Structure 1
Amino acid sequence: MTVALTLGLIVPLGGAAQAGTHSPYPDRFPLPDGFQPEGIAIGPGAVAYLGSRVDGRVYRVDLRTGKGRVFSEGPGTPSLGMKTAGGLLYVAGGAGGDARVIDTRTGKVLKRYALAAGPSFVNDVVLTRKAAWVTDSTNPVLYRLPLGTRGEAAALPLKGEIVYGTGVNANGIERTPDGRSLLIVQSNTGRLFTVDPRTGDTRAVDLGGESLVNGDGLLLKGDTLYVVQNRLNVVAVLKISRDGSRARVVERVGDPRFDVPTTMAAFKGRFYLPNARFTTPPTPETPYDVVAIDR
């Protein structure tokens, strides 16, 4: 499939020239060699969590120093998108077909949800007031997890305008500004959709002819939606309507330190993005890092 793509204006954000600084809150810090990061979650406080696509280890880092350690050993399958709330870390399990809830104090897995019995790619997570919602890039379904560690997961089949095809389908997930619907980006087609969390009905967001191809992590701040376009090494910045029905790209932000960033999380005046380096053949010695850019 050929996808038309308009990159528009690419604007490097301020602060990139200070890469590798040793001042408090460094704007670049390393991860373990061979780690292969994908997801990132921050908080509460100046603490970030990153998951490994290789074996599911979770690395916890102090953003004030850039130093960290593996605090939760993985199950041997990936840890991808993640979010924190209430002392818990919700983690999407990729090809493992599961989601896990980890205690952020101890690193212990408190709950594991087996979400898919066959081929799957459980990809990203968003938290709402009532649930954790998880995408599957292989199967047209969202998974609803209860907040906390009680209760069971439920599958919500997607219907309506989204059509799954070859490649990575539903990837990043967020809420609409009014909180009534969910947003998902379809990486292979570059389309953005709203999802009714009660029915699974999807509707394409009017992007005014723009494409979000290779769209990965989503982050909503007010009426601004940030979309990481991983292999393009840019973050698309969109103004979006309250109900999510319309959005327009106002700029695309690049940085010379980007090396296929996947997702992003915010802390104070910065966004933090792990470099997944999908275009670099991975080895146990391959270096990986996280870069911070100004909002």
Structure 2
Amino acid sequence: MSVRSLSATLALSATLLGAGVSTAVASTTFAARPNTYELPGDPGGSKFEGIGYDTRTRNYYVSETTGGEIHRGQVNSPDAIEWLKGDGTDGRWTARGVNVDAQGRVYVAGGPNGIDHPGAPDLWVYDRDGKLLAALRTGVPNAFLNDLVIGPDGAAYFTNSNAPQLFRVAEQHGRWTVSTWADATGTIATATGFNLGGIVLSPDRKALVVAQGNVGKLWRFDLRTATATAVDIAGADLVNADGLVQKGNTLWVVRNFSKMLSTLRLSVDGSTARLLSATPTDPDRVLTTAKLAQGRLLVVDSKFDEATAVPPYQVIALTPLR
């Protein structure tokens, strides 16, 4: 294990201890799996952001912001491959959030793809074999699709970092549609920088919990009414909140340029959250998004702090104590 990986692993372990998790570590279970995963990159430098995980195949998917490639790896193997080409493939020049539904379909948020390339898609859906199922535009000007979650209805809900909006993407009888599911203008003030980003389900699966990283807030969107209300975080510092990971009542918040991993106890309905710990992550990495995979957090090292990124390009595995 590298020094950087060890530092990150110890940081997460301390965080989870703060959450009151058992200290028994199943080290033999994790011994065969890599602590770092190597991603392909471009000769001119690559940067990364989103990650999705397929629980059935144990494949993970990572998006490259510089080119829009989608890389795929397997949790038992140290090396990922380029799964989907970028540089205009399917109209994709950049990519952000990634998620996988119960059928193994891979959803990709395009970030500013449709802004930088007018008429190009804002998001894509692929099957497990890499076949394009849908390439969609939201129809909303200046939409920056940042991250997404699969809802209990099987639809995907995407955040817009440029406006207080959530988009719903669904398939019925082979036809894919995208709609503006929620617009919280008047409730959520848009500030300079990246607004709505990371998104997860509430523990009771009746709401969506969304990070507004530039101002350090969390918002709850009721799945029945699409109404947004502020999550009571009791003054917790969540500035630079990026990726969110929820399991039961535990909410992990990856705070990219703050280089912190915050752990909160989330109420069942997602209306309140209480900070349990805020643990520094590796100072040499800007971590963005994460997914829980077989008891470990797989976290993307973005390279956003490097003017021209240089290898190694990696996903790191943070091993929680159980």
**TM-score if structure 1 supplies the norm length?**
0.87
Alpha-carbon contact 2:159-2:166 (below 8 Å) kept: yes
Secondary structure at 2:289's aligned position in 1?
coil
Give the residue type in structure 1 aligned to 2:100: T
Alpha-carbon contact 2:12-2:261 (below 8 Å) kept: no
Give the residue type in structure 2 aligned to 1:274: V
Offset at residue 147 of structure 1 (A) = 4.6
Q: Residue 83 of structure 2 corresponds to which residue in structure 1?
A: 71
Q: Residue 151 of structure 2 corresponds to which residue in structure 1?
A: 128
Offset at residue 78 of structure 1 (A) = 1.6
Per-residue Cα deviation, 1:28-59 (whole angstroms, up to 9, x for no partner): 12212333110011122321110110121110
Give the number of equivalent residue pairs.
277
The answer for unaligned runs of 5 or more in structure 1 is 1-10, 16-22
Which whole-Å CA distance do the structure 2 matches of 1:113 and 1:119 have between them?
A: 14
Secondary structure at 1:67's aligned position in 2?
coil
Alpha-carbon contact 1:194-1:202 (below 8 Å) kept: yes
Give the residue type in structure 2 aligned to 1:32: P
Secondary structure at 1:13's aligned position in 2?
helix
RMSD between aligned alpha carbons?
2.1
Alpha-carbon contact 1:72-1:108 (below 8 Å) kept: no
Relative distance call for 1:226 and 1:13 in structure 2 (3 A) is: closer
Per-residue Cα deviation, 1:166-209 (whole angstroms, up to 9, x for no partner): 11100101111111111111011100010123443211111111
Query: Is residue 2:267 matched to residue 1:268?
Result: no
Relative distance call for 1:202 and 1:63 in structure 2 (3 A) is: same
Alpha-carbon contact 1:160-1:203 (below 8 Å) kept: no
Alpha-carbon contact 1:24-1:65 (below 8 Å) kept: no
Q: Residue 82 of structure 1 corresponds to which residue in structure 2?
A: 98
Relative distance call for 1:147 and 1:236 in structure 2 (3 A) is: farther
Query: Is residue 2:143 matched to residue 1:143?
Result: no
Q: Residue 259 of structure 1 corresponds to which residue in structure 2?
A: 285
After TM superposition, the structure 1 = structure 2 runs for residues 56-205 of structure 1, keeping only pairs within 5 Å, are 56-74=68-86, 75=88, 76-85=92-101, 86-97=103-114, 98-105=122-129, 107-130=130-153, 131-147=155-171, 149-155=174-180, 156-159=182-185, 161-205=187-231
Identity value in percent: 32
Give the residue type in structure 1 aligned to 2:270: G
Relative distance call for 1:104 and 1:184 in structure 2 (3 A) is: same
Offset at residue 287 of structure 1 (A) = 3.5
Alpha-carbon contact 2:40-2:80 (below 8 Å) kept: no
Per-residue Cα deviation, 1:116-169 (whole angstroms, up to 9, x for no partner): 453221100100122100001002211000157523111021245321111110
Offset at residue 286 of structure 1 (A) = 4.5
Give the residue type in structure 2 aligned to 1:142: L
Relative distance call for 1:14 and 1:220 in structure 2 (3 A) is: closer
Give the residue type in structure 2 aligned to 1:64: N
Secondary structure at 1:120's aligned position in 2?
coil
Per-residue Cα deviation, 1:92-133 (whole angstroms, up to 9, x for no partner): 11001411101222x222101111453221100100122100
Which whole-Å CA distance do the structure 1 matches of 2:176 and 2:285 have between them?
A: 39
